[in-house]
Structure 1
Amino acid sequence: MSKPFILLLLIGYFYFNRVGGNYKKHLCVFLALVFFLIGDLLNIIHSNIILLGLSLFFFSAAKIFLSIKFSHRKDFNVSRLIPFTLIMFAYTMFLIWFLYEDLGNFLIPALFSFFITLLMMQFAYLRQDVYSNKSYLYVFVGTVLYSIGEGMLAIRIFKFSLPIQDFLIMFFYGIAVYLIVFGIINEKEFEQEQVEKYGGKINLS
């Protein structure tokens, strides 16, 4: 029951600390946090197949909203993205291989959810040199921790219990979402950060 409480605190934290920015982008963050909250509430009774399926839907929708928030129109270096994508793809495929025999009817929903997580992490990774280093690092590390926590939760639900699993899952999940929210709140254009850092002595053209 601790995870929903954490989400409620983070929703309030984001509401009172958000600054400027695009209204639609802020709405995406609110919807993501609310959908995470609903998914957590549904996941409390994960032995119920219907509730488990709905929780996967809401978690996936929340990650899609965050992916929209992380997206931007600036060009990115494809060659820089490839190594990271390959590493995270290998991690995702390992999870699927490890859980394959136990997923049963949840194979397709789990595949979809894992790959949405991969997409979210890619968008977070591509924020580098678009937003400030502080914002980038908090958001990126948050998505990585979220992926780890999600993998542990999937193992607990579909495979077997883990040592101190509840604490570890709550720790990774809580820290991950906090870092993402904190990074978004401290969003600042990369060029603006450089100007402030070097006192306007650089050429941004």
Structure 2
Amino acid sequence: MLHIFKNERKISILFFIILTIDILVKLNLDPFPYRYISKPPLVLLLSLYYYYNNNEKRKRKKLWVILALCSFLLGDIFVINHTNIIFLSVSLLLFALAKVFLSLRLSHISDFNVIKLIPFSIILFVYTVFIVSFLFNSLGDFFAPALLSFFISLLLIQFAFLRRGVVNRVSYSYVFLGIIFYKFSEAMMAIKTFKMDLPMQDILIMLFYGISIYLIFFGIVKEHKN
């Protein structure tokens, strides 16, 4: 049975089957109790895949990944009932923690070209300011937590960008693309929750989120230093 968790192809197929089931549950059934059954297996499956396949040499890096996975798992559970202000607040905190732990895992000590980072950082900053400005009048008491969450995402994607040339190309591409998908999912979820409905929002938010965590954690497992 355990050999399944070492097979990337089988785990990938199983992951996207579970993701499809969760999206169908989200579209057709009540959140309680069905999504509390259909959603957690996504992160649990990634956790098992990471546990059996990671090649981390530093225990601290493994700890950051485990803490990120735990935070995503709990955040997924709380955000299901996002219409409840307490559950929404806790989910924002948990997802922010997950991004902090990922940032710690992706950070590295290496020389990098600051000049190349500046244009990229400006684009991300403008994007973040645009989203926050668009939501400003609707955030209310959630303005500060939402602003903090978006800027932690900004920090995370910069750490992912700085891995270029330090780690192998496959790992870099997986993680970087995964975080881009996460940014789209996060922005759509914020607009849906605080501002207005979007076309196909229930499908796209979960699809982008599922793809993002798949790419991020598979990319971490594939990491090798150049």
Same fold per superposition (TM over 0.5)? yes
Unmatched runs of 5 consecutive residues or more in structure 1: 191-205
Residues paired across the two proteins, number: 190
Unmatched runs of 5 consecutive residues or more in structure 2: 1-34
Q: What pairs with 1:1-205 in structure 2 (closer than 5 Å)?
A: 1=35, 2-190=38-226
What is the deviation of 1:177? 0.7
What amino acid maps onto 1:41 in structure 2?
I
* Structure-1-length-normalised TM-score: 0.90
Contact 1:131 1:189 (8 Å CA) reproduced: yes
Deviations along 1:115-146, whole A, 9 cap, x unmatched? 00000000000000110111111111111111
What is the deviation of 1:47? 1.3
Q: What is the CA RMSD across the aligned residues, in angstroms? A: 1.0
Distance in 2 between residues matched to 1:87 and 1:110, nearest whole Å: 19
User: Any idea what SS the aligned residue of 1:9 has?
Assistant: helix
Contact 1:3 1:174 (8 Å CA) reproduced: no
- The runs of at least 4 consecutive aligned structure 1 residues that moved more than 2 Å come to 1-5
Distance in 2 between residues matched to 1:8 and 1:114, nearest whole Å: 25
Distance in 1 between residues matched to 2:197 and 2:39, nearest whole Å: 18
What amino acid maps onto 1:63 in structure 2?
K
Contact 2:182 2:212 (8 Å CA) reproduced: yes
Name whichever of 127-136 and 9-18 sits farther off.
9-18
